[in-house]
Amino acid sequence: MKTLSHLLILLVCLQNHTFGQVTYFADILGKGFKQATIVQQPDYEGSVTCTIIRKQTPEKSDKAVLYVHGFNDYFFQEEMAERFIKEGYNFYAIDLRKYGRSWLSSQKINNVRDLSEYYPDLDTALALIKSEGSDKVLLSGHSLGGLIVSLYADARGGKELFDAVLLNSPLFSLNIKSGLKKTALPLIVKRAEKHPDTSIDLGLNPLYGESLHKDAHGEWAYSLGYKPHIAPPVNYGWVRAVTLAQEKVTQGLQINKPVLVLHAAKSIEEKKWSDIMFTGDAILDVAAVDTQARNIIGQYSIQAVQGGMHDLILSKKPVRDDVYSTIFNWAKRTVR
């Protein structure tokens, strides 16, 4: 019955798109990564695509992971992919519409008015993963991707094409001053109803990007065109979409599959560069993330990672080794 349900959902997803047979091409990462562009239904900005990136295990496997990136982000984490492949997972990632490989010149990068706009991207990716032979799927999201994945898991209750959910520092709370949350934020959310395209700078600290990129203080190579140190301004519509999504988390999300929530042990607020940037989350209020995560209705586990950065799998090597150990020990019990 479960297999039949998956097949029916797959057929519906495929019928809602015009791509027919998916064709993969060499990805910008090389090293055996492939990508496929999926044309989605147009929206208020016109044409829309998402991009699925894939690297499969050397030997046939019926397990897979789908990774969903965060805000001002795209998939570039080769080490993460190789770790999952070593554990027997076919690796898939998605560059969501209006991000990274999927951004079109006719679009404002990162633009969204409701996080449910991303659901067709996830539906398509998960259906494709099933069609390519992976019966057991771990759905993983980082930061904004973690928030999207959480709401998606709630919305797809009873029709899940995944078996467990991994949240890496999910964006359950914007890290802004409480005064602004009580005054400016409600005004922006209200004005967004009629003026969603009004632009606003979130004022995110560029030091976080500098702590990651190899040409600054970090160890990772990625495109600063897709993931700049200073995030592009967002629209009021984005603020409203994220705020309303976080309110849904507060009200409680019913997630029928096991959930692992990982976050850094502490938040940091550095104004100038120091190695403290390597020791905590420079983006989120981790205490608020922990509190919000407890509003999940279902089987969940929450763990604070000592020395973890915002993207835990980009932390210093000893820390991320511990993160991977935690993930795979949990996955052995839940993705089977």
Tens digits of residue pLDDT in 262-307: 999 999 999 999 999 999 999 999 999 999 999 999 999 999 999 9
pLDDT-wise least confident of 71-75, 179-183, 248-252, 310-314: 179-183
Paired residues of 264 in beta bridges: 305
Asked if residue 211 belongs to a domain, the reply is: no
pLDDT band at 79 (very low <50, low <70, confident <90, very high): very high
Asked if residue 105 belongs to a domain, the reply is: yes
Measured CA angle at 195 (ends 189, 201), to 5 deg: 65
Report the pLDDT value the prediction gives residue 178, as an integer from 0 to 100: 60
Asked if residue 21 belongs to a domain, the reply is: yes
Could you report the per-residue pLDDT of 171-195, keeping only the tens digit for each?
998 766 666 677 788 999 999 999 9
Specify the DSSP class assigned to residue 265.
S
DSSP alpha helices (H): ranges in 183-316? Answer: 184-192, 207-212, 236-251, 286-293
Asked if residue 227 belongs to a domain, the reply is: no
| 247 to 84, 183, 239, 264: CA distances (angstroms) | 33, 16, 12, 22
Contacts from 10-19 at CB under 8 Å and sequence distance 24+?
Answer: 10/127, 10/130, 10/131, 10/161, 13/123, 13/124, 13/127, 14/127, 14/131, 16/41, 16/120, 17/124
- Which of 121, 176, 148, 155 lies closest to 242, judged by CA? 148
Q: Which amino acid is at 198?
A: T
DSSP string, 188-206: HHHHHTT-TT-EE-----T
User: What spatial distance separates the first Cα and last Cα of the chain, rounded to whole Å?
Assistant: 17
Structural contact between residues 140 and 65, judged by C-beta atoms closer than 8 angstroms? yes
Instruction: Write out the residue range of the structural domain in which residue 108 sits.
Output: 2-173+253-334
Asked if residue 213 belongs to a domain, the reply is: no
In angstroms, the CA 129 to CA 10 distance is 10
3-state secondary structure of 7: helix
Token match 């763990």: residue?
Answer: 303
Strand 300-305 relative to strand 259-264: parallel, antiparallel, unpaired?
Answer: parallel
| pTM of the full structure | 0.93
What is the average per-residue pLDDT within 61-81?
98
| H/E stretch holding 46 | strand 46-55
- Which of 238, 246, 240 lies closest to 110, judged by CA? 238
pLDDT surpassing 50 at residue 1: no
In angstroms, the CA 140 to CA 174 distance is 20
CATH of the domain at 8: 3.40.50.1820
Could you report the per-residue pLDDT of 5-22, keeping only the tens digit for each?
344 344 444 444 444 579
Kindly report the number of other CB atoms within 10 A of residue 74's CB atom: 24
Kindly report the number of other CB atoms within 10 A of residue 229's CB atom: 18
Mean pLDDT (the chain, rounded): 93
Asked if residue 185 belongs to a domain, the reply is: no
Structure tokens at 211: 């702590």
Q: Tell me what percent of the residues of the chain surpass a pLDDT of 90.
A: 88
Report the pLDDT value the prediction gives residue 179, as an integer from 0 to 100: 60
Asked if residue 179 belongs to a domain, the reply is: no
Number of independent structural domains in the chain: 1
Asked if residue 230 belongs to a domain, the reply is: no
- Which of 176, 94, 72, 102 lies closest to 141, judged by CA? 94
Contacts of 5 (CB under 8 A, 6+ apart): 159
